[in-house]
Amino acid sequence: MRFYQQVAVSVCLLAIGSAAWLFLAPGGRAVLTSYGVLEAEPAAGSGGRPPGGFSGGGIQVVTAPVTTGTVNDELTAIGSGEAIRSVTVLPEEAGTITELNLSSGDMVEKGEVIAVLDDREQVLARNLAEVALESATRQAEVNRRIKSAISDLEVYNAEIAERSAELDLEAAELDLSRRRIVAPIDGIAGIVAVNVGDYVTTSSEIVTIDDRSSILVDFSVPERFATAIRSGAPVEASLVSAPQQVFEGEVQAVDNRIDAASRTFMVRARLDNEDDALRAGMSFDVSMRFPGDVYPAVDPLSIQWDSDGAYVWQLVDGKSTKTRVRIIQRDPDVVLVDAQLGEGDSVIIEGIQRLREGASVSDMTSGAPQRESAGSAS
């Protein structure tokens, strides 16, 4: 490089370095202003633009009012359903089935004869008892007519024989009635486990009858709900296999103790089943709602975080004030917090990045054309 080129480059570098030093060094801007390089800035409060470039006397922000909200405490559990009444029918006596009067799925009424056992022996015993009673009755009548010619003991023995014959007849009729298997409740028959000609004993299951006009659902509840659940409280339940349909019911019974191992207690709910859509043994998603405490509610954009936790910027007398909060419940449109906030207080939701404690702010909420990003809002 030629000598005059080296001189020109050196002069340029010296000029650039000198200008940078004057611009960045303390008092440098004043030196440049005195030489006419920079335009003098208007003094603060003179109506011109204040340092920092924000008009209106402070940092422009957008606020939202604090409202109130209630924590919705909800219980969810899985329960198993059973018919409100269910009976497995067993014979009272052993014998061979000679008659079967129902099929699976039939509706039966209480007292209806659903099966008959071979009763020939019992019919014979009843007939013999009737004859014995007739004989004893006539003998007692004769003795009473001729009691003046016989002793009182003979009259008494005849009356005792008559009474014994009556009891024998009642016993024979009872044995005969036990050969008929009747429905103990109103309900719907399940699968019939026997056929005509089967020999059954007192341990043989004939059929199960369910009264499913209502379904009982048993489910476990954490002990923290022990004081909140009462009989008659509303319950919503849906089938695990078909969650789109919701059934309404109420609490029928609450267990009287907490299980020490699981720290839960049992609750039984009753669901109406007028359309017979539910069956015993179905599994249910059960839910109950309880009124909760009231807390201040703020816009989710106002929530900020630092090393000490969550906080919001509150607008108080034209100043930004940091207020610590504890998040109770978060929803898409509102956050419930535990904080020293009152209903109607203003919290800042936009312009948060430039805020500091005690900074002067200008609330542009009414005229803000659009919302800015809230930076680190959660």
* Residue ending a domain, choose from 237, 260, 290: 290
177: left (phi over 0), alpha (psi -120 to 50) or beta: alpha
β-sheet bridge partners, residue 59: 361
**Do both 212 and 273 map to the same domain?**
yes
**Do both 173 and 138 map to the same domain?**
yes
280-301 residues labelled b (16+ CB within 10 A) or e (exposed): bebebbbebeeeeeebbbbbbb
Q: Is the pTM above the cut of 0.85?
A: no
- The CATH number of the domain holding residue 357 is 2.40.420.20
Alpha carbon distance 13, 334 (integer Å): 58
Per-residue pLDDT of the chain (378 residues; tens, 9 = 90+): 566 667 676 767 777 776 665 556 555 555 555 554 554 444 444 444 444 444 445 789 999 999 998 877 788 999 999 999 999 999 999 999 999 999 999 999 999 999 999 999 999 999 999 999 999 999 988 888 887 788 888 888 889 999 999 999 999 999 999 999 999 999 999 999 999 999 999 999 999 999 999 999 999 999 988 888 999 999 999 999 888 889 999 999 999 999 999 999 999 999 999 888 899 999 999 999 887 788 999 999 999 999 999 999 999 998 999 999 999 888 888 999 999 999 999 999 998 888 899 999 888 886 444 333 333 333
135: left (phi over 0), alpha (psi -120 to 50) or beta: alpha
Q: Please indicate, yes or no, if residue 49 is contained in any of the structural domains.
A: no
How many structural domains are present in the chain? 4
* Residue ending a domain, choose from 290, 314, 331: 290
Rounded to 10°, the helix 152-177/120-145 angle is 160
- The CATH number of the domain holding residue 279 is 2.40.30.170
**Do both 240 and 256 map to the same domain?**
yes
* Residue ending a domain, choose from 232, 262, 290: 290
Q: Please indicate, yes or no, if residue 185 is contained in any of the structural domains.
A: no
**Do both 147 and 222 map to the same domain?**
no
Q: Please indicate, yes or no, if residue 195 is contained in any of the structural domains.
A: no
Task: Please report the sign of the dihedral spanned by the C-alpha atoms of residue 74, residue 75, residue 79, residue 84.
Answer: negative
Q: Please indicate, yes or no, if residue 374 is contained in any of the structural domains.
A: no
Alpha carbon distance 27, 50 (integer Å): 19
Decide: 211 and 272 in contact? Cβ < 8 Å.
Answer: no
**Do both 283 and 223 map to the same domain?**
yes
The residue behind tokens 């009635």 is 177
- The CATH number of the domain holding residue 167 is 1.10.287
Give every CB contact of residue 369 below 8 A, 6+ residues apart in sequence.
none
The residue behind tokens 């805020």 is 355
Decide: 65 and 345 in contact? Cβ < 8 Å.
Answer: yes
Q: Please indicate, yes or no, if residue 19 is contained in any of the structural domains.
A: yes
Range of the domain at 151: 119-178
Decide: 312 and 65 in contact? Cβ < 8 Å.
Answer: no
**Do both 149 and 162 map to the same domain?**
yes
**Do both 280 and 325 map to the same domain?**
no
**Do both 212 and 286 map to the same domain?**
yes
